Amino acid sequence: MSGERPARVLVAATGGVAAMKTPFLLRRLREAGYQVRAMASARALAFTSENALAVAAGSAVATEESWFVADGAALHLELARWADLLVVAPASAASLARAAAGLAEDLLTAVISAGAPRVLWAPAMNPEMWNYPATQANVARLRGWGQDFVGPEFGALASVTEGSGLGRMSEPETIVEHVRYHLSQKDLRGYTVLVSAGPTREYFDPVRFISNPSSGKMGYALAEAARDRGAKVILVSGPTSLRQPWGVETVRVERAEEMHQAITSRYQEVDAVVMAAAVADWRPAETASEKSAKKKGPQTVELLPTPDILAELGRRKKSQVLVGFAMETVDGLERAREKLRRKNLDFICLNFPTRTGSAFGGDSNEVEIIFPSGATISSGRVSKRAVADKIWSLVRERLTGREKEER
Ligand code: CTP
């Protein structure tokens, strides 16, 4: 978010059945803490209603009708100055064409030409219309002017007879992610960071493994937060059911040994590593090449330790900022302090997996951040994204040599 006040997002719906989703987008943006206003073209109102948009936005909707009422105000100028970001969702082929032609004949194009600072288009149309050369030329022209696009995506199209194709508007959650990217301060620009996430799987035959319940959510939140703040991000991920984050180089691995290889081979090129992965500490000494049968009776599996990736990074550390996690059920502070020292970390984030609101797989977390000086700070119970942003702020202080209170 920019400055003192919440960032302001103006959402404009144009004609298309995806306008049904615009109220949901407004709602998601408000939940994410943005101040919103809605605008709708006459054709958009054939698919959604002014009432639905007004309720979702919490304020009156700007329409062609409300544009030139005789109140002496110039709505297009007022909206262009109010917005930090204009999101056109859905964006029709016609709206792209009008904007690319530099017209200012309807409220949307008037707001754009009156200097709306940034524009994010979320197109929705039939695949033929999207692929039509004029549409593609319009998109290229708008991009050339610094405007940005989210979607369209491949998927089921509105008309059931059309099946699926490339033309579906991105889901409101995806659009919110792009909004966040546009409105975040780019204070990690120029840095490359590596984040590890998720569990590892240590197989003892082709279909059975030792693992843990890590969902990967904390690591993915870290990767997305760093991307939004302008960093080049490498995400080394164990198996998770999470969607691959856009704008992040994702390397998928399964075993601790593969994670070790993926991370150490990139260590030289990165400025910071945050190890959020729950690496399995043990692997079976042998992996059977065929599935072993139950009728063989009780089995004993010999376990060997996996490589401690973070400890190795600590030993090889040059200027990199190194951050670890410690998940403890007992003697948390003491054990985390020992890991911080042993692995040569800049700080460690202590998790409490047995506390409510911090358990595996949840969307919130509570960490105690521990520094080599012995100082600690608590994140409080907040979203994983908020924990991620706190961690990056601390990493950034260390990258720029401006550590504060903890020294
Ligand atoms: N870690 C790692 N490689 C391993 C095990 C852990 O890089 N083989 C990293 C984790 O990603 C985490 C930190 O080390 O950032 C601490 O992990 P944790 O499992 O709590 O510590 P261990 O060193 O494995 O100690 P123990 O399991 O005995 O508590």
The DSSP call for residue 384 is: H
Q: Which tops the pLDDT comparison, 184 or 160? A: 184
- The verdict on the CB of residue 308 being under 6 Å from ligand 1 is yes
Backbone angles phi, psi at 36, to 5 degrees: -125, 155
The pLDDT score that the predictor gives to residue 361 is 78
Q: Average pLDDT in the 279-308 region?
A: 89
Query: 8-182 and 192-406: same fold?
Result: yes
The model's pLDDT over 16-64, given as tens digits with 9 standing for 90+, comes to: 999 999 999 999 999 999 999 999 999 999 999 999 999 999 999 999 9
Number of H helices, E strands in the chain: 14, 22
Per-residue CA distances from 2 to 8, 118, 184 (Å): 9, 14, 7
**Nearest-atom index, ligand 1, CA of 256:** 8
With beta carbons less than 8 A apart as the criterion, state whether 78 and 60 touch. Answer: no
Q: Where are the alpha helices (DSSP H) in 229-284?
A: 256-264
What pTM was estimated for this model as a whole? 0.89
- The verdict on the CB of residue 219 being under 6 Å from ligand 1 is no
The pLDDT score that the predictor gives to residue 313 is 98
Helix (H) or strand (E) holding 98: helix 93-100
Question: Binning pLDDT at 50, 70 and 90, where does residue 268 land?
Answer: very high
Q: Identify the CATH number of the domain defined by range 192-406.
A: 3.40.50.10300
**Residue 311 alpha carbon to ligand 1 centre in Å:** 8
With beta carbons less than 8 A apart as the criterion, state whether 352 and 382 touch. Answer: no
Listed by start position, the domains of the chain span: 8-182, 192-406
The pLDDT score that the predictor gives to residue 357 is 63
Q: Average pLDDT in the 256-280 region?
A: 98
- The verdict on the CB of residue 169 being under 6 Å from ligand 1 is no
Is the pLDDT reported for residue 405 higher than 60? no
Q: Which residue owns the Cα nearest ligand 1 atom 18?
A: 326
Given 51, 126, 138, 212, which residue is catalytic? 212
The pLDDT score that the predictor gives to residue 108 is 97
Task: Please determine, looking at this structure, whether the domain spanning 8-182 carries the CATH number 3.40.50.1950.
Answer: yes
- The verdict on the CB of residue 324 being under 6 Å from ligand 1 is yes
Question: Binning pLDDT at 50, 70 and 90, where does residue 88 land?
Answer: very high
The pLDDT score that the predictor gives to residue 121 is 98
Is the pLDDT reported for residue 359 higher than 70? no
- The verdict on the CB of residue 339 being under 6 Å from ligand 1 is yes
Q: Which tops the pLDDT comparison, 156 or 316? A: 316
Q: Which residue owns the Cα nearest ligand 1 atom 6?
A: 279
- The verdict on the CB of residue 238 being under 6 Å from ligand 1 is no
The pLDDT score that the predictor gives to residue 85 is 98
Mean pLDDT of the chain: 93
Mutate to test the pocket of ligand 1, among 281, 322, 329, 342 (most ligand atoms within 8 A of CB): 281
**Nearest-atom index, ligand 1, CA of 307:** 8
Question: Binning pLDDT at 50, 70 and 90, where does residue 1 land?
Answer: very low
The pLDDT score that the predictor gives to residue 356 is 65
- The verdict on the CB of residue 274 being under 6 Å from ligand 1 is no
- The verdict on the CB of residue 275 being under 6 Å from ligand 1 is yes
The pLDDT score that the predictor gives to residue 407 is 47
**Residue 164 alpha carbon to ligand 1 centre in Å:** 45
**Residue 40 alpha carbon to ligand 1 centre in Å:** 52
The pLDDT score that the predictor gives to residue 328 is 85
The pLDDT score that the predictor gives to residue 242 is 96
Residue type, 166: L
- The verdict on the CB of residue 281 being under 6 Å from ligand 1 is yes
212 is catalytic: yes
Q: Which residue owns the Cα nearest ligand 1 atom 21?
A: 326
The length of the chain, given as a count of residues: 407
With beta carbons less than 8 A apart as the criterion, state whether 217 and 283 touch. Answer: no
Tell me the percentage of the chain whose pLDDT exceeds 90. 82
What 3-state DSSP class applies to 232?
strand
Report residue 247 as tokens: 């704008």
Q: Which of 2-16, 228-242, 316-330 has the lowest mean pLDDT?
A: 2-16
**Nearest-atom index, ligand 1, CA of 335:** 29
The model's pLDDT over 361-404, given as tens digits with 9 standing for 90+, comes to: 788 899 999 999 999 999 999 999 999 999 999 999 999 987 76
- Closest CA relative to residue 48, chosen from 93, 18, 27: 18
The model's pLDDT over 191-217, given as tens digits with 9 standing for 90+, comes to: 999 999 999 999 999 999 999 999 999
What 3-state DSSP class applies to 203?
strand
The pLDDT score that the predictor gives to residue 368 is 94
**Residue 220 alpha carbon to ligand 1 centre in Å:** 18
Class of residue 33 by CB neighbours under 10 A (exposed 0-12, middle 13-18, buried 19+):
exposed
Tell me the percentage of the chain whose pLDDT exceeds 70. 97
Is the pLDDT reported for residue 297 higher than 70? yes
Q: Average pLDDT in the 320-338 region?
A: 92
Q: Which residue owns the Cα nearest ligand 1 atom 20?
A: 326
